Structure formats: C-alpha cells, structure tokens
A and B are shown apart, each in its own frame.
Chain A
Amino acid sequence: MATDARVKELMADELEARAPEKFAEAGSNWPKKMMGFFFPENEDTVDLCVLAVLDEALAEDGTSITKKARDNVAKLIKTSTKASDAVKIIALTTLKPIPTS
C-alpha cells in the first residue's frame, strides 16, 4: 500500500537512473511529461521502468499482486501516459483488496 508520494519518489529514482538526460531536461516538471518523453517510441523500456517501480513498491510493502494485475499496469501505462498518471496507477495497483461484509 505504497503512498502516491512514495511511488513518486521511486519513479523519480528510476527515471533518473534510466533516462538521466531527459530527467534533467524535464527538471521539477517531470511528472507532467509523458513517459514517451523519457523513452520515446519504445513501449518495452516504458514497461521495464514502470514494472521496476511497481516491483520496488511491492517489495517495500512486503506484499505481492497477481500476474494479471502486474501485466495490466504495463498495458495501462504507455508512452502516451503522463508520468504523474503512471505514478497514480502504480500506487492504486499496490492497494490490497478489502473484504466486503
């Protein structure tokens, strides 16, 4: 159950490590950039980045999600997705199902 703020930090770390030039160019405006700004025209590298953030967030929580949910994250986040939306999608995906009464 990573918070949006924590996922944002993890995303910033990954982007800085994987696309340092683009991250520096975006500066503090990076959440407003599309993932394709950092990884243009390549859905694979976007997937590798967002899955690394998701896996890291889940590891910090000491939890896991289904393979289908993990695949869905990569399906939902594309080169045309804003980085801030990617952060939100990952944070929501780390939420646990709550039992209904």
Chain B
Amino acid sequence: MKRLIVCLALCLMGTGRSFAADPTAYLRTSDGETYYVAVSVSSWRLSGGDVKDPAALLKKLSAGADPLSKYIYSKLSAPTLELIAEFAPVAPPKGKLQKALAADLNQILADPSFYSPSRFDGVTLRKETADLLAQNPHGEARASLNRMLLDDAYTVEIAQNSSLPPLWQGADVLKRIVASMFYKGRLVPITIEPPDKAGAGYDLKISFADQTILKDGLQDLQIAVLQYPISVDKTSGFSVAVGLEITSAFTLNFGNCVEGFPVEVALDPTLSEKTYGQKRLQDLKKHLEDALHDPKQKPTVQIQAQTWPEPVKWDIRSHMQFFGDAQRVVPCYLLAKDPPTGTFDIAFDYGANAPIELRHPFFKSGVENAGHALTPGSLDTGDVGARALEQNLDIGGQLSSSVVDEKETDANGTDVAVRKRENVGTLDLRLAPWLNVLGLPEPGTKTFTFLTPFLIDARVSTGKITKDTLSLNRIAMGPEFEIRHYTDPSTYPSYQRYIFGVKNASDRDFKQAEWKGTFEFQPVFSALNHPLKFRTKSIDPKLDPDPDHDTNDVPITIGFGQQVLPLVGVEMGKTYRNKHPFAAIEQMNFVRRFYFGTTINLDFTSYVQVSVKDILYVRGEAPQDRLHNYFLGTISTPFPSFNRSIGSTAYFAFERGGQPPFAKADVNTVKFGYRIQWDNWFGKRR
C-alpha cells in the first residue's frame, strides 16, 4: 500500500524541480490529547545538491569577487576550508565538499545580520525579495529572506528555491495545496490549515478528527502532498512519513545513574525549530513525574533472567532523580528490589494511554553488572608478600619437584651429602576483598593512588616444613599503598609505581613471625612495554549486510611481544616471635634487605608466554651471607575464561636461588600448576 501511495504522489507531481531540503512531517499536540501533523516543506536550508555548480561558487568565494563572496568566505569553517584546499579544480568536487559548503551556508543564512546594503551592493534583487526585505521579518521568515537574497546573488551556482513567498504570507498560496493522509492505506479525513503563527517553522498544519489511528504508533501513517506550489506557476508533490520530534529509549548508565535504568527523552537533534519540542519535553517530564505516584500510569516493569522460563513483574521505586537540559530529560529509574544476578532482560511499558512519545515498548537486553576481565598478563610466582596484586582472588595449585641435599652416613661411617628429589603440592593464594578504596586522579593530574586495606599473600605446601620447603610455606598479610604516576599516558604508556607496605610475615605454622615495612619501585618504560596482547587487527564481518557495520577488533594471535619490567626495593623490620624456631630458619632479630632485578615477558604467540625473572638480594641482616640470587623461568598458556571476571592459566616453571627468609640451601625446583584469577569483587580495580 505504501508503494501505491508513493506512486500516487509521484504520478501527480507537477513538473517543478525538487525541494531544497527534504520535506518533513511531525506529529504534534497542543493540549496533550488532540494531535495534528505539522509539515515543513519549503525550507530555506540548502542540501548538498543545492550547491549546483560548486566549482563556479568556489571560484567566486575564494577570489573574493564581490563583498558578499568575501564575507561568506570569511565565515566558512576550518574543515570546509581544508576540503577546499584539497579540491583540485580539474576534477569535479566531491559530494563531501558540496555538503560541507551547504552546511556552512545554512549557518550563515541563520544569522539575522546576513543582509547589509554594502554587502549586496551590485546584486539585483527580485521584486518578492525586495518586498520581503522591506518588511524586515524575524525568525524563520528572516532566514527565508536570507535564502532569497542568496539565490539572487548566485543565480547560476545555487539551486533557486525561493521564488515563492513563505506560505504564511497569504492564504491564496495555501489554497494551491492538495494533500491527503493515509492510515494503513485508508484515506483519513483531514483539514489543511496554515501554521499557528508566522515563522513558526512549518508550512502547513494537517488536522484530523480520528485520533484512534495513533493507537499503534506512527509507522502506518503517511502524508501524500499531491500538489504544492513551488513558484508562481509551478507545483510539485511528495510523500512523507510522519515522525516525532522527541525520541525516547533506554540509554547507557552514566555517572549519576550507575545502578538505575536511565531513559533518555530527547529532542531530535536534526530539528531546526525547537520551540515546540522544548515545551513538549517539559510536558513529558511532568507526565513521567506524575506517573510514579499514579498506579494507573506507573510504568509496568518486567524482568527475565537468562535462566527463567517466564518474565517476572518487578516494582520500581516511587522516588527518582531527573537529569537534563534544554534538549533532553533523563529520569533514572531504580528498582524496588535488586535485580537477579547474572544476565537479564528488562522491559518498561508506560501503557496505551501514555503520551505517544512514550507509548512504544522500552527494552534492554543482556543487562549485567560484570566488570572487565583481567586475564593474567604475566605469571609472577615470586616472593610471597612482594607480588603484584591486581585481582581480588588469585589462587593456584602446583606440584613442585625439588632437589635437596641430605646428609647420610656411608658404609665407612662418614657423613656425605646425597642429592634427593622431593615432591610437594602447594596452594598459592592471594586474596584482597577490597583492591582499592581511594578515588581517581584529581583534574589535571596523572597520578593514581591505591590503598588496599588488607591482603593475604600465602603459599602453603603439603608435608613438614624443612629448610628446603620454607619458601613454599609463607604467609604475609597487611595493607598496601601505591602511588602510580604516568609520565606518558599514551597507547604504550610510561609510568612509575611506588609501592609501600606494612606486612606481617610468618611461616605456615605461625611459629616464627616478623613485621616489616616494604618499599618497591617499578618503572615501566614505553619503549620496553609492547606485549603482544596490546595489538589487535580488524576483521570485517562480511555476513553483516549493513554497509556501515562495525569491524571486529580481535587480538593478534601470532606474533611477538615483549615487556621488560625492572624493579628495586627495600624491606626493614623486626622478628618478634621465635618460640620454636625451625632449624631451617636463620636466627635473626631484625630484617634489613635491599633487592633489585628485572622481569622479562616474551609473547611468542598469544597462547604461549615465556617469563624470566632474576632478582639479586643484598642482606643487611646477615653479613656472612650477604648476596642471594633468585631466578624464575615460566612458560604459561592461558586457558578459556570461566566468565568475564575469572581467567585461568596453566604454567610450567623452573625456580632456582634464595628468597626471603633465605634458607641455607637455595631452592632448585621444577613446578607445574594451574592458576585462577578472579576480580570485580568490592572496591575499585587496582
């Protein structure tokens, strides 16, 4: 049927040219209940195609051939001037340039001071232009006059639009209009009237008595203007769908509405005349406000969790905040009780009696509160109490096989050292329910501060603690504070991490314990920080028929990346419990250590990462055993994530050397394990 209407309209079209701008038809109401259609036709605005001879126009403008051309050229925007600079006169100008010129000219025409006698000196004005100029009109009528002036000045370069005075100039013009309105192909009785007042921004008003045709929305409504005067002796015609000047839909959560469901009721940004829309926006805001306290008008809310067979009715709170400006009103709806955990869909329905702008269904799918997933970037299974902590829970299980020297008595009764292999299972746990309780950088600064009020960093193993398994049986806990300053916050950033901590460290059985203050400095250099996971490539989803579709950015799987992360730190403290010291633990009353080293992460593909860490410890507490080197080599491969917040990795590692609290024999271990990292608990990320 729509085809029939369009055909009907086109077949009856006059021989005139097309309109300068696309005609529009908007549904309006003056009392909130009786609707009519406002049709804008003879817009003074130019479209790209109205710049009929852009090469000739550009020649005049850039040469400053006359005062008007000089003035217009001085008002062109920087992007348009850039396009003009790129324009080669030998080739036809691109549509982009035509559009840019039209947009700039529209801005210029909207300026009431466009006309000045000196600027139009030498331009021959038509009689109707001169007549309208003499009336000194305002508002839209002024802009129409400006377009007529422009047409008179550039008769060849610009498509002539305004040989007819605006319709509000006289009822005689209105009599030349023939229009029909169709609802589902059925003719609807209408009355054609002039706009409410001169210069109101539309050309004719179509009133209709049967308001029931709006009950299903506007998609079935069509206006066919069969005859429309475009000059003194010519007519044209067009067919146009009816729209709303106000849109309404669920929008994204924002700073002042994080937990709620914001609905954006906004003016169509393409509107040229906003007076009606702004008033209507206030009416809608009042309706939304009143509806909360009126059970008949309150929106019906339904929620369906992914696992529920049926949607469930949900209540909303009667109190909410509104945000907005002259262009939009955004109420932030809050649910009376928490929504279901996981992913769910939500729908609002304002009912059949709501204002037509709110009568359509509001639907949001896949709502969830999951945060970002921090897939383990590097596997740092180093010193307990000094490891990076960026997930709420980081738990791993591993099997270690270490070589130890044991003394045995041989057949001659002599003590000899015998190398033996010992296998143990180890649970590796890092837990921080609140990763960060501090806020974000102040405006203009590039320094983050993080305070983790409490963390546990533990590694406990099966079997009895010996000097060889001591480093696998340590528990450290306490708060941590970090200052992270970005000197280069670019794609590959440079920054410095200053990490301060107060830790209580003990063995697994809490028989020997120490407290210590720690400080570590970790500079990250942009040039040395290019891991493979930073790189992506764009894949074109070829099955998507939308020519404007998005590309998918996926991580590069094959390639090479590198990350070099130096560190330096100190630890100072005191041993305060030494009730039943193990033979493996060196007797000492204080802690005084300095260390430095580097971690190098190499990505061979996105599935295999090799990490090498080497740290040299300088012990102030044991002059006779001052230096210990620690080496850790790891090959890891990420496993599929459980969900957005939980990632996992399998790894194989080789560890050799001494670590605090430095047993007399260094560790020499081969390990393989599986590690799970989980974030998005309480507090903020770190």
Contacts and interface: CB of A to CB of B under 8 A. Distances in A.
A65 B533 contact: no
A15 to B, nearest CB: 10
A67 B491 CA distance: 27
Interface in A67-91: 67, 69-76, 78-80, 85, 88-90
25 contacts: A3-B327, A18-B490, A32-B550, A38-B491, A40-B533, A44-B486, A44-B495, A45-B491, A51-B440, A65-B256, A69-B255, A71-B440, A73-B254, A73-B255, A74-B440, A76-B252, A76-B253, A89-B253, A89-B254, A92-B257, A93-B256, A95-B330, A96-B323, A97-B323, A101-B289
Most buried by A among B324, B440, B550: B440
Contacts of A41: 377, 531, 533-534
Closest 9 CB pairs of A and B: A93-B255, A69-B255, A92-B254, A1-B325, A95-B323, A40-B534, A98-B322, A55-B443, A72-B255
A70 B440 contact: yes
Range for the number of chain A residues in contact with chain B = 35 or more
Interface string B222-260: 000000000000000000000000000001111111100
Interface in B298-325: 321-325
Contact of A37 (B257, B439, B536, B684): B536
Interface residues of B, number: 51
B553 A88 contact: no
Contact of B441 (A5, A51, A72, A80): A51
A101 B262 CA distance: 19
Contact of A21 (B325, B441, B491): B491
A69 B256 contact: yes
Interface in B260-303: 262, 264, 269, 285-286, 289
Nearest to A26: B538
Given A48-B446, A51-B440, A98-B329, A32 B551 contact: yes
Contacts of B205: none
Contacts of B327: 1, 3
B331 to A, nearest CB: 9
B463 interface: no
B421 interface: no
A45 B255 contact: no
Interface of A: 1, 3-5, 18-19, 21-22, 29, 32-34, 37-45, 47-49, 51, 54-55, 65-67, 69-76, 78-80, 85, 88-90, 92-93, 95-98, 100-101
Interface in B366-385: 371-372, 377
B444 interface: yes
B343 to A, nearest CB: 15
Given A22-B491, A93-B256, 19 more contacts: A3-B327, A5-B269, A19-B490, A39-B489, A39-B491, A44-B448, A44-B493, A47-B441, A51-B440, A67-B439, A70-B255, A71-B684, A72-B256, A73-B254, A76-B254, A92-B255, A95-B324, A95-B328, A100-B289
A79 B448 CA distance: 17
B484 interface: yes
A38 B491 CA distance: 6
Contact of B489 (A1, A49, A66): A49
A96 to B, nearest CB: 7
A19 B491 contact: yes
Chain B at the A interface: SS class: loop
Interface string B327-369: 1111000000000000000000000000000000000000000
A100 B253 CA distance: 21
A24 to B, nearest CB: 11
Interface of B: 251-258, 262, 264, 269, 285-286, 289, 321-330, 371-372, 377, 439-441, 443-444, 446, 448, 484, 486, 489-491, 493, 495, 531, 533-536, 550-551, 553, 684-685
Contacts of B323: 92, 95-98
A34 B321 CA distance: 30
Contacts of A38: 491
Contacts of B493: 39, 42, 44-45
A68 B359 CA distance: 34
A55 B444 contact: yes
Nearest to B534: A40
Most buried by A among B322, B441, B444, B489: B489
A44 B489 contact: yes
B286 A101 contact: yes
A72 to B, nearest CB: 4
A71 B439 contact: yes
Contacts of A74: 440
A42 to B, nearest CB: 6
A43 B373 CA distance: 11
Given A40-B536, A41-B377, A47 B251 contact: no
A97 B332 CA distance: 10
Contacts of B371: 78
Nearest to A87: B252
Nearest to B446: A48
B489 A48 contact: yes
A73 B264 CA distance: 18
A76 B258 contact: yes
A75 B684 CA distance: 8
A47 B329 CA distance: 27
Contacts of B490: 18-19, 45
A1 B327 CA distance: 9
A85 B252 contact: yes
Nearest to A25: B538
A88 B255 contact: no
